[in-house]
Structure 1
Amino acid sequence: MNINSLCYLGLGLLSIILLSYVCYKKGVRRSLLLFLAMVGIGYIIEAVIYNLLGSYQYYPKLIKHNAIYDSNLGAIASNALALPVTATFIAAFHKNWLWIVFITGSFAGIEWLFLKLDIYTHNWWEIEYTSLGLPFYYIFAKILHKKIRLPLKGMIHSFCLFLIIGPFAGSFHIFPIMFFSNRYYELGMFEN
């Protein structure tokens, strides 16, 4: 196992430990619903900046046969685990803006470290974009957490269901492609 793999697996493991702690302290049902909804938001953001606009590249070196799938696995460790888990933590424990600043700074530091270790590269993305965007992501988690504590109706209910179901549909679609190469998937829709 190389340093790239260890860093991404470590990030994933720490995220799972934090999610388990949140579920234990605050209840499994609401915590997991909020976590899945925040994964859904992350997938929407990543569909635009990562898939369509090619913002950055991950190098976890966990999938050797295809660099695109390997990068997608790195994106999953970051954007389907680490970020939604911290958003769930902030919202479930009603953390204030100091916590948001601290966790945002921590992710900026992790991003800087990953860049220095050459296990992640920017194409046009900057650490500042992460630092400016994450507080809005965390505030959205706090708002959504208040909403899902009550019975939802109408468009908000449908939107939350979409956010919760979307990660399952996206993951169930991409994992067989990444690991079994049963179909071909390539980023960069506009290159040709």
Structure 2
Amino acid sequence: MSSNAYWYIGLSIVSLLVLTIALARAKSLRAVFHVFMMTQMAYLIETVIYIFGSSYFYRPGFLKDSAYFDSNMGALTSNMLVIPTAALVIAVYRLRWKGIAVAIALIGAIEWLWVELGLYTLNWWRIEYTAIGLTMYFPFARLVYDRLRRPAAGILHSSLLFLVVAPILGTLHIVPIMLVMNRSYDPGWFGDPPHDTTAFSSVYYVVMALVIVTTMKIQRGHTWVKFLAIASFIFIVTRVLLATELLRIHVWWDPWYYCLFPSTAYLLLKPVSARLARGG
């Protein structure tokens, strides 16, 4: 492990401590939902600017075999911990523009320090762009948190449900690939195979999340039938991807894992749909 990793670990620990305090202060399940939702919003933004836009590159030094997968580990620190935690703090403590400005300045200072220490490399991206983005992201986080108090229905309910489900699927999809390289995707979008795998994964998990949300919204049908239907659908998709050589599987357990964990997520997260419909 390189010295860079300790900076990322330290930032992650601080974020987890702050997140724990904010969740304890909120004493509400909607705060947990909010963390997932804002994580997914960060994931979607990162998909556009980092994965497909090649805006910057993280250098945490966790993984030696692949620089891009190592960069992804740094991206997880930012998008799964730092940014959603700051969003929850702003929402729970109802911080207004002065508090939001302090949060943006702090994150900008961290970004600047990371660049100076060689922990993070900017390509065409600028720290000012981060500040501009956060001036929209953080107020949106407050709106989402307040909206979760009230019942949701229709497209809004589906959207909120997607934002809860998707980051769980996305994280469980890509983390094993980065750590043990159990599968790889080859769409031919980029010259670097790990970059290609990450990019295709970012599309794949969104599609799977939409499938699961759609299944949750269907009122008729037994839960276990839907469980099997999701697993069967993913099995068919897997066979198609293998046949077209978009997918390569490197370990025996991979198909079992990718067929079963989305179905299991459907079972475990199904109550979230009812809770969002009730609000509170």
Query: What is residue 172 of structure 2 aligned with on the other side?
Result: 172
Q: Give the drift of 1:104.
A: 0.2
Q: Give the drift of 1:184.
A: 2.6
The 2-side partners of 1:16 and 1:140 are apart by 22
Query: What is residue 106 of structure 2 aligned with on the other side?
Result: 106
* CA displacement, residues 5-42 of structure 1 (integer Å, 9 cap, x when unaligned): 01111111111111100111111411111010000100
Query: What is residue 24 of structure 1 aligned with on the other side?
Result: 24
* CA displacement, residues 67-91 of structure 1 (integer Å, 9 cap, x when unaligned): 1110000000011110011001101
Structure 2, gaps ≥5 residues long: 193-280
Query: What is residue 44 of structure 1 aligned with on the other side?
Result: 44
The answer to whether the Cα contact below 8 Å between 2:3 and 2:61 also exists between their aligned partners in 1 is no
Structure 1, gaps ≥5 residues long: none
What secondary structure sits across from 2:183 in the alignment?
A: coil
TM-score (structure 2 length as normaliser): 0.66
The 2-side partners of 1:134 and 1:185 are apart by 32
The answer to whether the Cα contact below 8 Å between 2:4 and 2:59 also exists between their aligned partners in 1 is yes
Query: What is residue 241 of structure 2 aligned with on the other side?
Result: none
What secondary structure sits across from 1:184 in the alignment?
A: strand
Q: Give the drift of 1:3.
A: 2.9
Query: What is residue 86 of structure 1 aligned with on the other side?
Result: 86
Indicate the RMSD between aligned Cα atoms, in angstroms.
Answer: 1.7
Q: Does 1:157 align with 2:152?
A: no
TM-score (structure 1 length as normaliser): 0.95
Spell out structure 1 runs of 4+ moving beyond 6 A: none
Q: Give the drift of 1:189.
A: 2.5
The 2-side partners of 1:189 and 1:125 are apart by 21
The 1-side partners of 2:77 and 2:101 are apart by 21
The answer to whether the Cα contact below 8 Å between 1:52 and 1:187 also exists between their aligned partners in 2 is no
The 1-side partners of 2:182 and 2:49 are apart by 26
Structure number with the bigger relative contact order (C-alpha 8 A, sep ≥ 6) is 1
Query: What is residue 56 of structure 1 aligned with on the other side?
Result: 56
* CA displacement, residues 92-133 of structure 1 (integer Å, 9 cap, x when unaligned): 110111010001001110000000000100111000000111
Sort the Cα spacing of 1:16 and 1:56 in 2 relative to 1 into closer, same or farther, 3 A: same
Q: Give the drift of 1:188.
A: 8.5
Corresponding letter in the other structure for 1:15? S
What secondary structure sits across from 1:57 in the alignment?
A: strand
